[in-house]
Amino acid sequence: MEKLIITCAITGAEVKKEHNSAVPYTIDEMVNEAFLAVQAGASILHLHARNDDGTPTQSASRYAQIIQAIQKVVPDVIIQVSTGGAVGMSRMERLDPLSLHPEMATLDCGTLNFGGDDIFINTENDIIYFAQVMQELGIHYELECFEKGHIDTVLRLVKKGLITQPNRFSFVLGVNGGMSGEARDFFFLKDSIPSNSTFSVAGIGKYEFSLAELSIQHGGHVRVGLEDNLYIEKGVLATSNAQLVEKVVQMAKHYGREIATPKEARRIYKLEEVK
């Protein structure tokens, strides 16, 4: 098997310090969390931007401050910005950080009920437009799929030439309104993508480590972080993003998979190829 790529989602847009005091808001906090996560074994940092009071923002200027500060301490890490933003943000607001030409960005591949009245809207035209912008800017995208229909959308758009290969899938499982994170869900999605694709799994909440273990065993990659899960084990809050990364590293060692460096992750994900 290829070495294991670990992505760390250090803050997200929804979790708050009142849920876990380790959630970073300020630039200094994000830099510290990023540095420790990379030292622990993460080769990709999935970034959302927050203002100092914790409110989510897609402001390119705020992203620039965060990215520049992180790159001073971990210059080789792969930066992957979110174009999901937060519920209710407009298409153009969500795209604002792409003006910075980050190495990677997420491409959300379908609409989802987030619970209550919250709807995370990604129309087919949104998906096509986001993909087009990323392709024009030379930004590599990861295809975030919350359920099987999102994969089907991707495959249809690939056939039309609207989404380019290589396809890097991210299965985000356990979100309200999406697929749960049981083993059957993992295998259903894994077996639904082309054999020449790569995939990573982000298990939300209680599914984080059980899905990480399955992905390690079956040749996939793993995303962890305080955006997705606040606990290191049931009832015990994680003290940092690095602690979550370290737990995955130990799992990988158990199954004999080495951890990819950022350079190796670029090769595995074919990030050095021209689109």
What is the rounded CA–CA span in Å between residue 212 and residue 86?
25
202's tokens:
């982000």
Its pTM stands at 0.97
In sequence order, which residues have a C-beta less than 8 Å from that of residue 110 and are 6 or more positions away?
122, 127, 145, 146, 147, 149, 150, 153
pLDDT tens digit sequence for 146-165 = 999 999 999 999 999 999 99
Note whether 127 and 153 are within 8 A (CB). Answer: yes
Residue 273: per-residue pLDDT = 60
pLDDT of residue 275: 45
pLDDT tens sequence across 200-230:
999 999 999 999 999 999 999 999 999 999 9
pLDDT at residue 129 is higher than 70:
yes
Q: What is the CATH number of domain 6-268?
A: 3.20.20.70
The alpha carbon of 16 is separated from its chain's Cα centroid by a whole number of angstroms, namely: 18
**pLDDT recorded at residue 255:** 97
